[in-house]
Structure 1
């Protein structure tokens, strides 16, 4: 339950930073905030991070259009699966191949 709530907060934050018009949001500030968020996510307990990653597709259903895709892409954009697989070189190689394929 808590992972869904935290995923919702993160989703709102990322959607705002990704989709707010650059006239309304300083791009340098947005990048700094995304980098800070990414750092915090990477430092999370791996068990909770797994729950969080699994929550984003569920949370995404509450969005529409471009915002829905932004939320679905949070784990990819912040390299969260890679953070979860840090101790598994085979899984990391597979994730890297998938990332290369995805572009």
Structure 2
């Protein structure tokens, strides 16, 4: 499943940027790369994005400790479900309620 392979690449990239020490990577540069990644993810074909979002849950158990939660939360962190629901105001309201309850 190609979406799982791509999800692993994205997860490793996000984990590196999120967990790297300031001596390893510039914090401003890491934020810039995360923003760039988010923009690129939002531009994906919606059918593939759906597969990719689902793949993060599938691959998360491959990671340990805090990394597992970070991988599972990639769709949440990048607002990918909201991107998928962009044309569905009812689903967007539901996602907003879920986000409010979670935060």
Q: d(CA) in 2 for partners of 1:25 and 1:67? A: 18
| Count of matched residue positions in the alignment of Structure 1 and Structure 2 | 103
In structure 2, the residue matched to 1:32 is 32
Q: CA deviation at 1:23?
A: 2.3
SS at the partner of 1:21? coil
Equivalent in the alignment of 2:11: 11
Distance 1:87 1:101 in 2: 23
- Alignment partner, residue 82 of structure 1: 82
Report the TM-score, using the length of structure 1 for normalisation.
0.98
Question: 1:58: how far off?
Answer: 1.1
Question: 1:34-93 CA deviation, whole Å, 9 max, x = no partner?
Answer: 000000000000000000000001111100011111101100000000000001000000
**Residue equivalent to 1:20:** 20
Residues of 2 paired with 1:98 and 1:22: CA distance?
Answer: 33
CA RMSD between the two structures = 0.6
Q: Distance in 2 between matches of 1:27 and 1:3?
A: 29
Unaligned runs of 5+ in 2: none
